[in-house]
A and B are shown apart, each in its own frame.
Chain A
Amino acid sequence: MKKALLVLFAFLLAAPAFAQGKLNVIATTEDLAAIAREVGGDRISIDSIAKGYQDPHFVEAKPSFILKLQKADVLIAVGRELEIGWLPPLIQQSRNAKIQPGAEGYLDASLQAQILEVPTGQITRAMGDVHPLGNPHYWMDPENGKLIAKEIADKLSQLRPNDRAYFTQRQADFTSRLDTAEKGWLAKMAPYKGTKMVTYHRSFPNFAERFGLDIMGYVEPRPGIPPTPQHTLDLINEMKRQNVKLVLVEPYFDLKTPNAIGRDTGAQVLVVPPSVGGVKEITDYFKLFDYDINLIVEAIKKSGAGK
C-alpha cells in the first residue's frame, strides 16, 4: 500500500512537467527557425512566417499568420526593424499576451549579435530605407549563428527549466558542429580573400566580413530604392575601373539590371540566397553557407575574379 502511494505521489509530481508538452515556437524567418530547430530538438514545435525566397522586408501581414501567432509560446524576431512593416500589426492582433514585445515569450535574436552598418550621425530617408539600428542581415555570419543559438537556448531554458540541460547540450553540439564547418568554409574562401564584388541590396555585409570579401558597390543606389540609370552607369564604370567580375543578387530581386551590368562589364551574375529556404537545397543553417560558398567559389574560379 505504501509503495503504491509512493508511486502515485511520484507520478503526480512528474505530471505537471509531462503535461507541459512541446513549446510552440514561431520564428519570423526560416533562418531563425533553422537555428531554433537545432537547439530545441524534439522539445519544441517550430514554424516560420517569411519564406526564405521572399524579401523579408515586404511580407504581407496575412490573417493566417495571426492564427500561427495566437498559439505561439515563443516568437523569435530578427529585429533591427527588419520586420517593422508587417510584424507589429500581426503581434497586436494575435491576442497573445505571451509574445507581445517585452513579454517573456518575445525574443529579439539580434541583441547579442555583431551588428554592422549601425548609422552614426544624422540619418534621413534621403539615405533610402535605412535601418536606424543597423543592418538586420546579421545571421549571414556563422559567428552570429552561434550567438543566436545561445539566445534561443537561454529563452527556451527560461520557459522550460526542466529541459535546460537538453537545450544547453544541443546548443553546445550545434556550436561545435558550426565551429568545424566554419573552419572548412574559411579554408575554402581563403584563396579568394579580398575578391571584389557587387551585391544588389545590403544583405551580405556580415558574410563578406567573415569570409574576407570586398563589396565595392550595390545595384540599388540606396537601400530599398530601385536602380536608376545614372547609378547603374556609375556602377558599371567603377566596376570596369576596379575589374569587378561578380554581381550577387538575392532571389527576390529582378535580374534585368544586374544582367545588363553583367553584359557591360563581363561580370558574372549570381543568384545567392541569403536565407535558409532560398532554394530548395538549403534546408538548414549549415546548407545555407555550404550552398552560398560553393556557388561563390565556383563563380570566382570561372570568372577569374579572385586573381
Chain B
Amino acid sequence: MRPSGLRASVVTLCVMLGSSSAFAQDSAQTVQQQIDQLRQELQQIQQRLSELEAKASATAPAPSPQSPSAAPAAPAAQPAAPVPPGAEGAGGPSGALPLYGAAGGAVSGSKVFNPDMAVIGDFLGAAGKNDMQPDPFSRAGDHPMPLAMHESEASFQAVVDPYARADFFISFGEEGVDLEEGYLTFTSLPGGLLAKVGKMRAAFGKVNSLHNHVLPWADRPLVFYNLVGGEDGIDDAGFSVARLIPNPWLFLEATGQVFRGDSGGEGSPLFQTTRRSELSYVGHLRAYQDINDDTNIDLGYSYSRGHNGLFASNTLINDGSLVTQLHGIDATVRWRPLQRSIYHSFIGRTEWIWSRRDQPTGLQSGSGGYVSADYQVGRRWFTGVRYDRSNRPDNASLLDTGGSFIVTYWPSEFSQVRGQYRRTNYADGPSANELLFQFQFSIGAHGAHPF
C-alpha cells in the first residue's frame, strides 16, 4: 500500500469510530432494555435447568457399594463408520458403528496375525426311497434326514513361525461339533521331509483325504461307506511324514503315518483301539507325471493297518483286538486345456480297495471300488457319472452295487448347486433310487483351488 493510500484509510477509520460513538450514545437506553430482557430470560433458563436436575437425580439408581467414588475417565474417541444402507432399523444397528482396530492409524494392525478364516456351508437334501439307509449320507441312525444343514466347516489357517504353519478345520453339524482336522505342518525340515502332527485325514488313496466340499459328488462312493469308515474315513490323531523320492523321471512321494487307532464313524466302523499300543498305520506311495501341458496322470498305492476292537471268541486274556488291513490303488487322469482351462476339463478317477478284516468268526476278505468321470461343459456347468461296487466288511459274501449321474452348476467360484441321481442295489434289501441335491457356499478367505 502506498503512503497516500494509507493516509486515506486512517482518516476513513477515524470517521467511522466517531460516528459509531455518537450512535452508541443515542441508543444507550435501547441497549439497556435489551440487556434487562436477556437477564430475565437467563434467570428463567437457570430455573428450568435446576428443576430438570432435581428430577433426574430422583429417578437415577443409587450407586452400588462397589462403584468407584471417582468418575471413570472418559474413553478415548472411537473411530466410527456409518451403518450400511438398509441395515438400520428392524433390530439392526443405528447411529455410527465403531471401527475396531482402526485406532492408532494402522488399520487392522492388531489383526494382521489373525489366521485366514472361512466358513463353508453344505446343505444337503434327498428325495426318493431308501429303506436300507434312511439317512442318505450316513450309515448311522435310522432318521430319514431328507433335508439337512449337513456341515458348516470353519477353517483357520496361518503361519505359526518360520518353521511351521497350522491348519484347523472344525465341522459344525446339526448335532454337534467335530474337529475334522487340526494339524501343524513343518515346512522347513531338512532332507526333503514334510511332517505333520495333529488330527488329519489320512493319505489313503484320493477320496479319503478330501473334504466334502471339494468332492465332485454330493455323497462319497459306496466303497467308503462299506470298507473305509464312511464319511469320516480314516481321520485320526497322529503323525505324518512325507518325502519326495528323487528321480529324473517323475514326481514320486512316499508318506508314512501313525495314528491313535480310532477311525470310522457310527455305522461304518473301521479301526477301534482298546489299548495304547493298538496304533493304526497308513502308508502311501504317489507317482505323478505330466503327459503334456494339458494332461497328467496320478497313480497311488495305499496300505493301512489297525485294530478293529473285536476279540477272538476263544481268547481268555486280552492280548489285543483283531486287525483290519486295507490295500488300495488309485488312478486319476486329468485333462484341462490351459488356454481354455476355465471352460473345459475332464477328470477320470478310480480307486479299488481290498479289506482283510479279522473277526471272531474268521477272516473276511472283501473289496470294492468306484470309477468316475467328470466333464466340465462350460464355465459354470459340470456333469459326471460314477459306478460303485463294494462288498460288506463283516460279510464279504454280500455285494452292493450302484451308480450316479451328477450335474453341478457354479454361480461363482464361491458357491455351487448340485443334483445327483443315485441308484443303489443292496445285496440284502430293496434297491434305492434317490435324487440328492446340494447347495454349497463359502465365505471368508479365498481358499486354494482343489487339485
State the A residues within 8 Å of B (CB): 51, 53-55, 58, 60-64, 66-67, 70, 81, 84-86, 88-89, 91-93, 95, 97, 100-103, 122, 125, 128-129, 224-226, 251-254
Contacts and interface: CB of A to CB of B under 8 A. Distances in A.
Contact of B379 (A51, A53, A129, A254): A254
Nearest to A64: B290
B314 to A, nearest CB: 48
A103 B342 contact: no
Contacts, number: 99
B451 A62 contact: yes
B287 to A, nearest CB: 9
5 closest Cβ pairs, A-B complex: A97-B188, A54-B338, A63-B251, A63-B288, A85-B449
Interface size class of B (residues with CB under 8 A): 35 or more
B341 A54 contact: yes
A88 B448 CA distance: 7
A103 B194 contact: no
Interface string B188-202: 110011100000000
B98 to A, nearest CB: 14
Given A92-B185, A100-B187, A252-B341, A63 B253 contact: yes
20 contacts: A53-B339, A54-B339, A54-B341, A61-B449, A62-B288, A62-B290, A64-B289, A81-B446, A85-B448, A86-B448, A86-B451, A89-B448, A93-B194, A95-B189, A100-B162, A100-B188, A103-B162, A252-B338, A252-B342, A253-B342
Contacts of A95: 187, 189, 192-194, 244
A224 B413 CA distance: 8
A53 B293 CA distance: 12
A151 to B, nearest CB: 22
Contacts of B289: 64
A64 B244 CA distance: 11
B187 A251 contact: no
A62 B338 contact: no
B342 A58 contact: yes
Contacts of B342: 55, 58, 252-253
Given A88-B448, A100-B188, A51 B338 contact: yes
Contacts of A91: 187
A93 B165 CA distance: 11
Given A226-B379, A226-B380, A55 B341 contact: yes
Given A61-B449, A62-B451, 13 more contacts: A53-B339, A67-B244, A81-B446, A89-B448, A89-B451, A97-B162, A97-B163, A100-B187, A102-B159, A129-B446, A224-B412, A252-B341, A254-B343
B187 A97 contact: yes
Contacts of B2: none
A253 B290 CA distance: 24
B100 interface: no
A70 B443 contact: no
B84 A122 contact: yes
Contacts of B84: 122
B150 interface: no
Which of B185, B336, B412 has the most chain A CB within a 10 Å cutoff? B412
Contacts of A129: 412-413, 446
Given A100-B162, A122-B84, A129-B412, A60 B449 contact: yes
A125 B187 CA distance: 31
Contacts of B286: 63
B296 interface: yes
A86 B451 CA distance: 9
B240 to A, nearest CB: 12
